[in-house]
Structure 1
Amino acid sequence: MSEKNRDGKRTARERLAVEREKQKASDRRRRTLIVGAGVVCVLGLAAVIGVVAASAGKDKNSASGGPVVAPSGAQGKDSLAIPVGKEGAKSTLTVWEDFRCPACKGFETTYRPTVSELVAAGQLQVQYHLVTLIDGNLRGTGSRVAANAAACAQDAGKFPAYHDVLYDNQPAETDDAYAKSDKLIELAGKVDGLDTPAFRSCVDDGTHNSWVAKSNDAFRAGGFSGTPTVLLNGKNIYADQSMTPAKLKQLVQQAAAG
């Protein structure tokens, strides 16, 4: 093979190698742009959903046309907390929750036995604040309708049992099954004495809808990042990666002994 031919083939290979590197670089840039655009679209969509949800909330509140009706026995600022447990207990667990929220169900599943034990011992009071975060993120009304039904159960003195039933039967996060009053009334049948004409009317009429909306506004104003938000005597324990039911029990019992 002549020197000229060898040089020609080498030059061709070099050009091909250069073109391949250019193509690889182009592919990398395209992937980066696609990923970046995807993030922007997700964030943009979240912003749009937030605006739509906020507008929808305003429309529904104005459509309800009624005053903010707190459930029986509600406590705290603007009567937005539903208390469970002994008043005057040394420790208070503040829980911001959404009945459509899978993480809230996870917290319930893990901590319910310990929390129930401490409440029964008079060492802990739980104050529940109801939120409609998933309605805003995924659209729908199930969070609000379920929260209203739970407030109706509080009127009947059946909140703790109905609260647990709602989590035990929680639909998939994307399934807005709790938007249907019939479903919530059906679940009331699992709580002795709850399925009454008064409860049904409260659920169907959305008696506490404006109260639920006000509770959700308080959640947003509090600057919390998500549900559940769980505070023990004001300290966020859900964000504590070392927290366990055993550690929670120890902290509450120490406070009770002190």
Structure 2
Amino acid sequence: MSEKNRDGKRNARERLAAEREKQKAAERRRRTLIVAASVVCVLGLAAVIGIVAANAGKDDDSADAGPVVAPSGAQGKDALAIPVGKDDAKSTLTVWEDFRCPACKAFEAAYRPTIHELTESGQLRVEYHLVTLIDGNMGGSGSRNAANAAACAQNAGKFPAYHDVLFENQPEETDDAFAENDKLIELAGKVDGLDTPEFRTCVEKGTHNSWVAKSNQAFQDGRFGGTPTVLFNGKNIYQDQSMTPAKLKQMVEEANQG
């Protein structure tokens, strides 16, 4: 083989080796860019999730910047609980609810007959706390306005009946129908003696809006997982997958026997 041919083959091998090294370097750069881009995407997604989580359940309380007026008979810390049942009942059920919340409606539909039976017999006392979680998550003011109207109903001694009417007539979660005072007043017509000038004025003026905002803040401060949150004598029972109305009734009866 001539010297010229040997030099040509050597140069070809060197060029091939150089090209392979160039491709490897390009591949390393490509992988580096992919990893870097993936990290940026993950960090960006984490930031978005963090922002969403930070704002979940928050709503604009600027319209509630007035005096905190608790409804008649409200009890507990800062008078944020609306009580139903006898004060001397041995068992207490604490319920955090949002009138726009579908899960709250499902809870009420399943447990309402049992809760009514136990409160009316004097075995159970229920403390209702009103929340505006859906307003914060979905936008609107239906949770707040419905809660204010329920507080107005409490002033008239009609809270339990109106509470039930609101859940029975709950709109779709994305439908902010309860933001309309006319709708809330219309539903008051389903409760005997509730649709009065005093009730209408209370609803239209948002008399208890600041109280509702304070109740919602207490819910946020309590770091509860969501609505409904249901505590039996301080223990969260809504998270108990085995809980049923019958089991709740048994727990109340056993507490009364003790």
**Structure 2 counterpart of 1:185:** 185
Q: What is the count of residue pairs matched by the alignment?
A: 224
**Structure 2 counterpart of 1:89:** 89
SS at match of 1:207: coil
RMSD of Structure 2 on Structure 1 (CA): 2.3
TM-score (normalised: structure 2): 0.81
Once the two structures are superposed, residues 58-105 of structure 1 have per-residue CA deviations (whole angstroms, 9 ceiling, x without a partner) of x1122xxx3100000000000000000011101000000000000000
**Structure 1 counterpart of 2:155:** 155
Contact 1:46/1:137 (<8 A) preserved:
no
The 5-angstrom pairing of residues 178-217 of structure 1 reads 178-217=178-217
**Structure 2 counterpart of 1:235:** 235
Q: Distance in 2 between matches of 1:113 and 1:39?
A: 45
Once the two structures are superposed, residues 115-170 of structure 1 have per-residue CA deviations (whole angstroms, 9 ceiling, x without a partner) of 11111110000000000000111111100000000000000000000000000000
1:140 aligns with 2:146: no
Q: Please state how far the C-alpha of 1:44 moved relative to its aligned partner.
A: 5.0
**Structure 2 counterpart of 1:167:** 167
**Structure 2 counterpart of 1:121:** 121
SS at match of 2:69: coil
**Counterpart amino acid of residue 130 in structure 1:** L
Once the two structures are superposed, residues 211-258 of structure 1 have per-residue CA deviations (whole angstroms, 9 ceiling, x without a partner) of 000000111111111000000000000011111111000000011111
**2:49 aligns with one of 30, 33, 43:** 43
Unaligned runs of 5+ in 1: 1-25
Q: Distance in 2 between matches of 1:94 and 1:48?
A: 26
**Counterpart amino acid of residue 60 in structure 1:** A
**Counterpart amino acid of residue 204 in structure 1:** E
SS at match of 1:173: coil
SS at match of 1:96: strand
Q: Distance in 2 between matches of 1:233 and 1:162?
A: 25
Q: Distance in 2 between matches of 1:103 and 1:38?
A: 31
Q: Distance in 2 between matches of 1:118 and 1:253?
A: 9
Structure of larger gyration radius: 2
Unaligned runs of 5+ in 2: 1-30
Once the two structures are superposed, residues 28-58 of structure 1 have per-residue CA deviations (whole angstroms, 9 ceiling, x without a partner) of x9xxx7x96996586256247449x45x21x
SS at match of 2:95: strand
SS at match of 1:243: coil
Q: Distance in 2 between matches of 1:37 and 1:176?
A: 34
Q: Which portions of structure 1, spanning 4 or more consecutive aligned residues, are displaced by more than 3 angstroms?
A: 35-42, 47-51
Going from structure 1 to structure 2, the CA distance change for 1:39 and 1:250 (only over 3 Å counts) comes to: farther
